[in-house]
Chains A and B, each alone.
Chain A
Amino acid sequence: MSAIPSKNVDSKKYDVGVPGGYRMYLMLCGGTGCVSGGSYKIKDALEKELEKHNLTDEVAVVMTGCNGFCAQGPVMVVKPDGIFYQLLKVKDIPHLVEEHMLKGRPVEKLMFTPPKEKSVVPKMSDIGFFKKQRLLALRNRGLIDPEKIDEYIARDGYKALAKVLTEMKPEEVVQEMIASGLRGRGGGGFPTGVKWKTCRDAPKEPKYVVCNADEGDPGAYMDRSIIEGDPHSVLEGMAIAAYAIGSSRGYIYIRHEYPLALERLEKAIAEAREYGLLGKNIFEQGFDFDITIHIGAGAFVCGESTALMASMEGRPGEPRAKYIHTVEHGLWDKPTNLNNVETYANVPLIIQRGVKWFTSIGTGDVSENPWGGSKGTKVFSLVGKVRNTGLVEVPMGITLREIIFDIGGGVPDGKKFKAVQTGGPSGGVIPESLLDLPVDFDQLTKVGSMMGSGGMIVMDEDDCMVDIARYFIDFLVGESCGKCLPGREGLTQISKMLNDICDGQAQEGVLELLEETCNTVLECSLCALGGSAPNPVLSTLRYFRDEYEAHVREKRCPAGLCKNLITYSIDPDKCNGCMLCARECPQDAITGEKKKPHKINTDLCIKCGICKDVCNKDAVIVK
């Protein structure tokens, strides 16, 4: 938990017991829930009372991040006593300060009373899955009804929009975003503030603000979940962007495969319009902004900025060369700011809590240069061979090991971890030796993968790395628009080579040719789809070359997955002749008498794996 010392607290004095430190610390919760419950008023009241009793040199008030007991807020922990006060009200404070801080007698009626079964049900903060998460973009997850705008407003919603419209010039908003170091959560990692500035400075009018909700990576659903759970955070972020850039027109490009997200988005827009939070003269501050939803057909390539805009204009979703920037010549050739769902969801929070707070989370230093680090958090969808699959939001700089083992609970069924794939089809595979890598934009790129939009697929010893590369390349062959040669023919050739390797048809020298083709596609493709498509192949070649070589030279699949390279047999020492496999085999390929070891006829076997699944004795061998 990152404490945010109030201005009168010297951070060096923070530890209780340090000479020159304070006698007592009042750790008052400054999370969204408690703040809307009035914790800043409590803070003022505490400071006033402490001054009255001449305690300001002895007792310090520190605002902390949310501690999770939002339902009991505003909450406060007194250190070093560890006493937990809840449901604080301003009128309680004079009594509390006099009794506890002055006379040393804790006030029982304000203390936290846990539910009756406290000892057997763990606290949320003790559960590994929740403990290391830090919810910024997902700050309202599970707490509000996404179909009721009042519930969003009750958690400080639209206050950031009110703040920028009344207290900040558009230029100041842009500066604030640059200083925050927020980088694009859709995968590129381009500094959001810099993008806003370029778009603001572009000479043409009108300008457009577009939200990219064309989430298409296999196994990734961060944006869907944000829209389904908290659609107004995206609308508010877009409105702030529009004000900063000087736009009055917004679009959300969302794929039609997200029906629930679409429904909630439509409802949210209608409610926001009804309240006048979208439309003309918002908050009577002379600012107009409205949002239209554009439903995409679900092509992966339409997540690419220029293809997305082509699709919105009614043309085929094909990218164009990137030297003409969309911030200057975007939608209908007008300056267009395109950000991802999660990026917009972060914006209101940065405006409300400030740059200092936001930059306290994450890695690097962005004070001089917005590329200097990765600030804030990232939402990942943690899927694959991991116990706790789900959506996790973690501070930048957390290690892969913490995400996969502490939050994800590790690999199930006693299997061994092999690798993790980050960044979707354009990302790479990261092996066990790099698990202690801190997760941020630059570190992941350094090891041949990327942040991407946040898909994270965990693989165990049963996953074949060549097969994984083939899966992603085949996905991209299907999704490539076919406009440029490397994307169209290069990917097809890579796919053919990978399929040959998996089928045991590949000749010596194929790996070199594969690498060369990958590098050509990497360098010569028109857009980022082609330009990053070889990543799964190159990263698996880099870290698991031995698996490729086993396929090519020994015609062997070490993971026992590639059908043409494996045979099923039964271990006669383990088989007890229960006949279960023989009954289940769809090919009748298994023969044998009761209580005697069975045999598989490999000519009939189709390698479906049913015998292995049903065997109670683990007697089926795959080689």
Chain B
Amino acid sequence: MPKLKIEDLDKIVNKQKKVTSLRDGAGRVKVTVHMGTCGISAGARKIMAEVMRCMEESDASDIIVTTSGCAGLCSREPMITVEVIDEAPVKYVDLDKKKMKEIFDEHIMNGNVVKDYALAIGSERSS
């Protein structure tokens, strides 16, 4: 990897958009598993494994799975954020494997928000 020049920052911004932004055609759904220490100790690794298993089972190729840090509400971990293209993200809380499977089938595959497990839609206000 050559050293970055200042103009390279914008190139990375654009490249990254293609990778993570659904709008630019990288996928149809993005699933973020929140894996801070709090999430992991509440079982985020199991949730991650379940997402991967469901993906394998369904043969879906248009789903991006990624991780992130603590989402703030530690008492409701494990948490995930599901973002379907052109829709606002939905945060799910207090997850276990069974709930994860249900969210995968209903929301990720069929586009229906599982309201029983959903905390909220949208993202947080930042900076």
Q: Which positions in A face B, CB cutoff 8 Å?
A: 1, 31-33, 36, 65-72, 87, 113-118, 120-127, 129-130, 133-136, 138-147, 150-151, 153-154, 156, 158-159, 162, 166, 221, 224-225, 228-230, 258, 260-261, 274-277, 279, 281, 283-284, 349, 353, 387-392
Contacts and interface: CB of A to CB of B under 8 A. Distances in A.
B74 interface: yes
A389 B77 CA distance: 11
B69 A31 contact: no
Contacts of B71: 141-142
Interface string B25-41: 00000001010110010
Contacts of A387: 75
A229 B32 CA distance: 13
Contacts of B111: 116
B75 to A, nearest CB: 4
Contacts of A391: 70, 72, 74
11 contacts: A69-B122, A123-B121, A124-B122, A135-B125, A142-B34, A143-B68, A154-B12, A154-B13, A260-B40, A275-B3, A275-B4
Nearest to A258: B37
Contacts of A154: 12-13, 16-17, 20
A87 B23 contact: yes
Contacts of B83: 71
B112 interface: yes
Tell me the dominant secondary structure on chain B's binding face: mixed
B60 interface: no
Interface residues of B, number: 54
Given A229-B69, A392-B72, A118 B125 contact: no
A18 to B, nearest CB: 26
Interface string B93-127: 00000000000000000011101001111111111
Nearest to B86: A113
Most B-side CB within 10 Å, residue of A36, A70, A140: A70
B4 to A, nearest CB: 5
A125 B13 contact: no
Contacts of B67: 145-147
B33 to A, nearest CB: 10
B62 interface: no
Contacts of B3: 275-276, 279, 281, 284
Interface in B15-65: 15-17, 19-20, 23, 32, 34, 36-37, 40
Nearest to A349: B127
Given A71-B83, A115-B88, A275-B4, A145 B127 contact: no
B127 A114 contact: no
Interface of B: 1-6, 9, 12-13, 15-17, 19-20, 23, 32, 34, 36-37, 40, 66-76, 81, 83-84, 86-91, 111-113, 115, 118-127
Contacts of B34: 142
B72 A71 contact: no
Given A68-B122, A115-B121, A121-B121, A133 B72 contact: yes
Contact of A228 (B17, B70, B84): B70
A102 to B, nearest CB: 28
A549 to B, nearest CB: 36
Nearest to B40: A260
Q: Which 8 residue pairs spanning A and B have beta carbons closest together? A: A229-B69, A276-B3, A154-B16, A124-B122, A117-B113, A142-B71, A135-B126, A389-B75
A1 B121 CA distance: 19
A277 B6 CA distance: 10
Nearest to A357: B127
Most B-side CB within 10 Å, residue of A71, A118, A122: A71
A66 B5 contact: no
A345 to B, nearest CB: 11
B98 to A, nearest CB: 20
B124 to A, nearest CB: 5
Nearest to A144: B68
B81 to A, nearest CB: 7
B66 A145 contact: yes
A31 B126 contact: yes
A22 B77 CA distance: 46
Contacts of B112: 116-117
Given A68-B123, A142-B72, A158-B9, A115 B90 contact: yes
A388 B75 contact: yes
A33 B71 CA distance: 17
Contacts of A130: 72, 120, 124-125
Nearest to A115: B87
Contacts of B127: 31-32, 65-66, 135-136, 139, 349, 353
Contacts of B115: 117, 120-121
B58 to A, nearest CB: 21
B120 A153 contact: no
B122 A229 contact: no
Contacts of B2: 276
Nearest to A230: B69
Contact of A390 (B19, B75, B121): B75
A122 B120 contact: yes
B74 to A, nearest CB: 4
